[in-house]
Every structure is written in structure tokens, then in C-alpha cells.
Amino acid sequence: MQKQDYMQVSSEQHPSSEVSLQLLLFVDDRPSSRQRIQQIRCYLEELQADYPFELQIVDVGEQPYLAEHFKLVATPALIKIYPEPRQTLAGSNLIGQLKNWWSHWQHAVEAQLKLQDEIPESIDTHYRVPTPKKPIRSVADSVELIRLSDEVFRLKREQEKLLEQLQFKDRVIAMLAHDLRNPLTAVSIAIETLESNLLLKKGEVSRLTPALTTQLFKQARTQTRTINRMIASLLQVAGGSSAELNIQPQKLELSQLYQEVLEHLSDRAVVKALNIETDIPNDLPCVYADRERVGQVLINLLDNAIKYTPEGGIIRISGLHRTTQKVQVTVCDTGPGIPEENRDRIFEDRFRLKRDEAKEGYGIGLSLCQRIIRAHYGQIWVDSAPNGGSCFHFTLPVYSI
């Protein structure tokens, strides 16, 4: 407990009882308040000469918890804590208010004493009027209770923060595991193709030209580096405590990134005989974004477009310079589309449409896309394509020198 100032008077009118008027006077150390506080204290000293009461003076600067506990909005303030109900007097005319209420407070004490005296001693103590704690003890209990409540609140916040961090790590690990499938598949296809060429029997003609062999090696190396970066990100998330994605923006030319992503997914599109159309203006400005993260967004969106577009369908990729600050990227497909009532929910963690529950996937790709785009201060949304299917749009900031 901090240093406190006490003025206490024992009850002489009722020596057999501990019941008395109990008051708390809250003061502060502002120079402008000193004169008023001194006047109030002098007036209280005059009152105690005629009527005994217990008073405790509390400096709100030393014990702000008590001011919060009693919900004070101004000082000086005088609080009657016993007899109940509690009553607070505050404002510039505190002495005037005290004069009006003083006789009422005295009558409240007398009524409490009378009620207690009328209950026979033979009555079980459970039914007797409880005598109040001394104000010193009462306030001390209040301070300790507030301190413990604050400590419990702090521990709950820490627990919530730790749970949030663990949930974030689980989400990111699941997302990275989901995204690792694409480069692993690409590496596997490249290695299996090269291996089949090496295992040709005598007299068999190689189906791989030198250019295609070089391309397969290049693809395997590129995808291996992508896997390595993803694993590094996974380790970073596992060892860190931040709930934010690691974004390293730089000047980025989207048209070049489009081509790289399309090359990664071209084999899957060819298998389904899909027609991929692109509309990337030559004057589309560069964006200020993380190359790897935006690549993840494009891969996820195109991967979904390929998955849900039926054989012989069309996928359209376009770029639009919306404003001087934003570039919009759109990926449209001719698949089954997204029901309007689910267009916001599909970006939630692990949410999947009922029709897709039997399909491969974890329902986390779009959630990752939303986190990445929001980390770039952009937006991502979906609407219906003009010729059926879905159109996913996202925005990125324009790079400015």
C-alpha cells in the first residue's frame, strides 16, 4: 500500500457497537485543488467535533486503482461507503452538497443501529446485520482485489496471444504444405521424364530434344529453389512469434511473373486441353510487391481455375491499370462458379463448398491469397464471369520512384 492520510474517530454515541459513518475523501496534488481540499478537510474536522465518523483520505496519484474502482471522474470527491447504499459527492460545491446530505447520513446510521439492536441475540448470526469492515481494511481489500483482477486479465491476454500465435503457425504450416505440392509435382514430372530418356534401350530413339532436356533441367532447378524458399519460410514461422506474413516488396513486372507461373502449370492445362488467354497491356506499370508471395497468389488462383474448368474450357488472365495507385489482376474460368452467398466465406481458413468436399485440397489456398494481398494493402474478391464460371480479382500498389 502507498502512503495514505487517515483521520479516524471512534464511535462514542454507541460504545457497544462498531457501526459508524464511514467516508473516503479522494484528493489530488494539483495546485489548483489544494485550497478546495484544505477547505473540505477543515469542514470535516468541524463536523467530527459534533458527530463521530471514520474518514480515510486517498491520493488518486498514488492509488489510481481506487479512483477506477469507485468510478470517479473528478476530484476532490467524498464517498459514503457505509451505511449502504454507497453515495458519491463531487464537483466545485462539494461542501454545499455535504451540508445537504449530512443529516440524511446521520439518520441512516441511526436506522442501521436501531435495526441491529432490535434483533435478539438468540437469533442466528446469519440473520444479523453484518458490521462493516474498518475503512482501512476495506480499501486495502479493494486495492488487492483490483491488483489481482488486473493480473488475471493480463494472464488471460497472454494466453489468448499465445493461442493466436499457435493457431497462426498451424495455418501457415498447412498453407505451405498445400503450396509445396505444385513445385514437388513439377520436379517429379521433370525428373521422371529425364529418367525415362536415360533408360532407353538400344535402338530406341530419344523423344527429348536437347532444348527440351535443357528446359526440364531448368524447370527442376527453379522448382527446387522454390521448395527451398518455402521450407525456409516454414522454419521462420515455426521459430517466430509474429502473426504477420514476411513481405519483402520490390519493383515487380507482372507480365514476366505471369509467364513463369504459366510455364509451371502448363502441363496440367495441356492435359485438359484448356485454352489460356492473356490480356496484359504493354504499358501496364510495375507493382511494388513481394515476387514470391504474389507468385503464390497467381499459382493458387490458376491452380484452382485449372482444377475446376472442364476439359476444353477457357481461362483468361488480364491486367488493368485501375488508378495511379493500383493495378488489378483478374483470373477468370469457365467452371461451375461460386454461389453468391459463399463469395466472402471462401476466403476463410479451411472453408470448402459442399460440392468440393470430395475433391483434393485443404480449403486454405484462398485464405493464404487473402492474407498475402492484404499484407500488400490490396483487396481480393470474386464475382461471376460473363460467360459462366468465376472471376477472381486482386489489386497491388503501383511502383513509384
The pLDDT of 276-290, averaged and rounded, is 92
> 2-25 pLDDT, tens per residue?
444 433 333 333 333 455 788 989
CA distance from start to end of the chain: 59
Model confidence band, residue 175 (pLDDT cutoffs 50, 70, 90): low
Whether the CA torsion 371, 184, 221, 265 is positive or negative: it is negative
How many Å apart are CA 335 and CA 315, to the nearest integer? 9
Residue 52 near residue 11, CB atoms below 8 Å: yes
Q: Which residue has the cell 480515510?
A: 56
pLDDT in tens, 218-269: 878 877 877 776 676 566 555 554 445 678 999 999 988 988 888 878 877 8
Q: Which residue has the higher pLDDT, 268 or 90?
A: 90
Whole-structure pTM value: 0.48
**Cell numbers given for 82:** 457505509
Q: Please give the backbone phi and psi of residue 146, each rounded to the nearest 5 degrees, phi first.
A: -65, -40
Domain ranges of the chain: 5-132, 176-397
Of the CA atoms within 13 Å of residue 199, those in its CB half-sphere come to 6
pLDDT, position 290: 94
CATH number of 176-397: 3.30.565.10
pLDDT confidence bin for 362, thresholds 50/70/90: very low
State which of 164-168, 268-272, 395-399 shows the largest mean pLDDT: 395-399
Here the cell at position 390 is 468465376
- Give CA separation, 132 vs 20, 37, 138, 178, 362, in Å: 9, 27, 9, 65, 62
Quick one: pLDDT at residue 257?
92
CB 396 within 8 A of CB 287: yes
Distance CA 256, CA 189 (A): 23
Rg (CA), the chain: 38
Rounded Cα–Cα distance for residues 139 and 6 (Å): 12
Q: Which three cell numbers stand for residue 320?
A: 488493368
- Listed in sequence order, the DSSP H helices in 51-203 are 64-69, 94-118, 135-198
Within a 10 A sphere around the Cβ of 172, how many other Cβ atoms? 21
Average pLDDT of 273-296?
91
Specify the CATH number of the domain 5-132.
3.40.30.10
**pLDDT value for 11:** 35
Q: Which of 26-30, 112-116, 357-361, 372-376 has the lowest mean pLDDT?
A: 357-361
| Percentage of the chain modeled with pLDDT above 90 | 22
Would you state the pLDDT for residue 376? 93
pLDDT at 318 over 80: yes
Average pLDDT value for residue range 261-289 = 87
Q: What is the pLDDT of residue 4?
A: 43
Lowest mean pLDDT among 54-58, 61-65, 144-148, 334-338: 144-148
